[in-house]
Amino acid sequence: MRSLTALLLALAALACAEDRAMTLRQAVETALKQNADIALSRLDEEKAKQAVRLAKDPFIPRITVGSGLAYTYGFPMSIEGSAPSVLQANAAASLFNRQQSLALSQAKEDARGASLSAEGKRGEVAFGAASLYLDAGRAARIGTLARKDAASLQQVLETVRAQVREGRALPLAEKQAAYNVARASALADGLDDDCAAAETSLAMALGLSAEDRVLPSEQDPPALTLPVSEDSAVRVALQSNLEIRQLESQIASKQLEMRGEKAARLPRADLVAQYGMLAQFNNYAEYFQKFQRNNGQIGVSLQLPLFSGPGVDAQAARAAADVARLKIERDKARNRIQSDIQASFREVKKAATSAEVARLDLEVAREQLSIVLAQMQEGRATLRQVEESRIVENDKWIAFYDSQYAIDRARWNVLRLTGQLTASIEALP
């Protein structure tokens, strides 16, 4: 019974799993819609927006209505500072509160920073999804070539075995060929596992479950356009890089916090108003010359801090220290981003040179295979030589694919640093 239950659960899990073929653009768009990190950043952005509403609350009149109805025996007294009344209404709002006004401005700046953080998270997720897409495609391609290598080595093994039986080769040659087959098969199995892991990681980055797998449907990812020059890339990055803009937003927020702490010494003015409908059975007519049932009051409450203590200066000094620290971090980020872009452009050139070398080497291997095939048709080459030439060609294909992989990673890294990767992918057809 337990075995049957386990089998049914396994079949259900397999039924739920799904292999999905996607283009690069589809993968990135899915990640931007469903990735959990983006959902968390949106929640942080929403919290920052609500903080703005919270900071604005003191400037919006708050009105409360209730009742202080009570029975009076003897002289009318107050309850909680108000005369017993059938209906009470109170209103209060800040008219002038410089400290709270600066707190509101700070909350708005923090909301802008949260929005920049969410936008930055989109860029990170897009780059992560694109990188995993590239990894999955590379693993699938190399895995296929590794299987071809194993098949070619198996053909070589069969040829060597025949030669050993005929006495034209030593048994050691058969053992060496068998070892080569086993090693190639193990390598191919490992690459299959790497491919499955890459496709599962890509699915999880896209917000899918760990049972799903996303298969790249594009053999060659489309080439994305780089900035026209290294200088223009640096200029664009320093102007639009989200990390720098976030640091500048944090600096502005801390400057507002510093001004807000100093504003604690400024006077404040609040609007106050109240209304009370008094009951007629509370002995007011017996003790006062005139009784009026409906009563109202409106005015301004003024507060002038005379001595605020050392805490105000201490809080302002702490905020100033934070501003100085953030400015240093901003300058370091600018230098680091400029250096990273320069290094990335050098990496693009280096990868392009390596790719050209790999392409030429592949052409030589393909030409050599063609020559060996022609020689075999003429009876001047054996099947073993042909299969060995195929193995060499497959190795050159792997080197060529790796060089293309390096180019794409380097180019995408440049676009990530300039903040243009997401837009470039979304502009693909």
Give the CA angle between residues 251, 253, 255 to the nearest 5°. 70
Would you say 122 and 38 are in contact if contact means Cβ atoms under 8 Å apart?
yes
Torsions phi, psi for 288 (to 5 deg):
-125, 150
Q: How far apart are CA 351 and CA 372, in angstroms?
A: 31
3-state class percentages of the chain: helix first, strand second, coil last, to nearest 5:
70, 10, 20
pLDDT digits (tens, 9 = 90+) for 184-238: 888 888 888 888 888 898 888 888 888 888 888 877 777 778 887 888 888 888 8
Selection from 350, 354, 364, 360 nearest residue 403 by Cα: 354
Tell me the mean pLDDT in the region 292-312. Answer: 84
Q: Is the pLDDT of residue 419 over 70?
A: yes
Q: Is the pLDDT of residue 6 over 50?
A: no
pLDDT digits (tens, 9 = 90+) for 330-363: 999 999 988 988 888 889 899 999 999 999 998 9
3-state secondary structure of 76: coil
Measured CA distances, 50 to 305, 326, 404 (Å): 30, 25, 47
Would you say 382 and 312 are in contact if contact means Cβ atoms under 8 Å apart?
no
Tell me the mean pLDDT in the region 34-51. Answer: 89
239 Cβ partners below 8 Å, 6+ apart? none
198 is written with which tokens?
Answer: 């890459």
H helix or E strand, kind and range, residue 320: helix 311-377
- The reported pLDDT for the residue numbered 327 is 93
Residue 100: other Cβ atoms inside 10 A: 18
- The reported pLDDT for the residue numbered 281 is 67
Give the CA angle between residues 310, 313, 314 to the nearest 5°. 80
Q: How far apart are CA 41 and CA 60, in angstroms?
A: 29
Would you say 241 and 419 are in contact if contact means Cβ atoms under 8 Å apart?
yes
pTM above 0.85, yes or no: no
Ranges assigned E (strand) in 227-385: 268-278, 294-303
Q: How far apart are CA 3 and CA 170, in angstroms?
A: 51
State the amino acid at position 240 in one-letter form: S
Q: How far apart are CA 79 and CA 69, in angstroms?
A: 9
pLDDT digits (tens, 9 = 90+) for 135-183: 888 888 888 888 888 888 888 788 878 888 888 778 887 888 888 889 8
